[in-house]
A and B are shown apart, each in its own frame.
Chain A
Amino acid sequence: DIQMTQSPSTLSASVGDRVTITCRASQSIRSWLAWYQQKPGKAPKLLIYKASSLESGVPSRFTGSGSGTEFTLTISSLQPDDFATYYCQQYNTYPPTFGQGTKVEIK
């Protein structure tokens, strides 16, 4: 199985900060990567697919980039609603696998 590793595991930031989360794959997944946001007690929400395509309805402050084995999710200006846990997921190869998550908390 392809292993997905996110860094950092926890990130402390303030409203208005630029935030970057990194996701690394154990082998090339081309651009077959998605990002999700999950709040406590809620289902995950798709933010980005195919590494950089923004899901409909997702604010433009979220951007994804990368290909191959290294990817990033950037939030250009952190908003109060963005404090959550973020997961990357590869879908290049079965089984689809997720990173361990990055919790973005209030500084």
Chain B
Amino acid sequence: EVLLVESGGGLVQPGGSLRLSCPASGFTFSSYWMSWVRQAPGKGLEWVGNIKQDGSETYYVDSVEGRFTISRDNAKNSLYLQMDSLRAEDTAVYYCARDGNQKYFDSWGQGTLVTVSS
């Protein structure tokens, strides 16, 4: 069974930083692209960014480019999201997700809530 478990969310002030983690199990982690997807309270889904199997390529949505960094540690079967210069509009539940054969998402974690507020 594929298992993705996000952690690291919480309350942070505007301009602050937070690092999310997502350990994975139940599949060969190093064989898959991985993504972060977020959902603001009461709103729809927004893809944040993804990372290639070996970490050599990353892509981001424009709204987080230069502020967020996705990384992975294949030895630890873990995905990370470093979030800097956080804004109120970054408040959301953040999900890690496994990319399918193309850029759809076939497995999701349970999500972790990030709240940016003073």
- Report, as a range, how many residues of chain B touch the other chain: 20 to 34
A45 in contact (CB, < 8 A): yes
B-facing residues in A22-45 (Cβ within 8 Å) = 32, 34, 36, 38, 42-45
Against B, the Cβ 8 Å flags (1 = close, 0 = not) of A70-107 are: 00000000000000000101010011111111000000
A44, B110: Cβ atoms closer than 8 Å: no
B32 at the interface (CB under 8 A from A): no
Count of chain A residues near B, Cβ 8 A: 23
Do B44 and A101 have beta carbons less than 8 Å apart? yes
Inter-chain contact B45/A87, CB cutoff 8 Å? yes
**Do the beta carbons of B59 and A95 come within 8 Å of each other?**
yes
A49 near B110 with CB under 8 A, answer: no
| In the bound complex, CA of A105 to CA of B104 (Å) | 26
Chain B binding surface SS class: strand
Docked CA distance A94–B61 (Å): 8
Query: Given A43-B95, A96-B103, do A87 and B109 touch, yes or no (CB 8 Å)?
Result: no
- Nearest-CB distance from B27 to chain A (Å)? 14
Closest to A4 in B: B44
Structural contact, B47 and A98, CB atoms closer than 8 A: yes
Q: How far is the CA of A32 from the CA of B61 in the complex (A)?
A: 19
The reply to whether A44 and B44 form a contact with Cβ atoms under 8 Å apart is no
Nearest Cβ on chain A to B48's Cβ, whole angstroms: 9
The answer to whether the Cβ of B23 comes within 8 Å of any Cβ in the partner chain is no
A43-B95, A49-B100, A49-B104 in contact; A95/B109 too (CB < 8 A)?
Answer: no
Do residues B46 and A98 form an inter-chain contact, with CB atoms below 8 A? yes
Q: What is the bound-complex CA distance between A36 and B45, given in angstroms?
A: 10
* Contact yes or no, B106 A55, CB < 8 A: yes
Known A98-B44, A98-B45: A89·B110 in contact at CB below 8 Å: no
| Nearest-neighbor residue (CB-CB) of A34 within chain B | B104
| Residues of chain A with a CB closer than 8 A to B95's CB | 43-44
Please give the residue numbers on chain A whose beta carbons come within 8 Å of chain B beta carbons, in ascending order: 32, 34, 36, 38, 42-46, 49-50, 55, 87, 89, 91, 94-101
Listed in ascending order, the chain B residues whose CB lies under 8 Å from chain A are 35, 37, 44-47, 59-62, 95, 100, 102-111
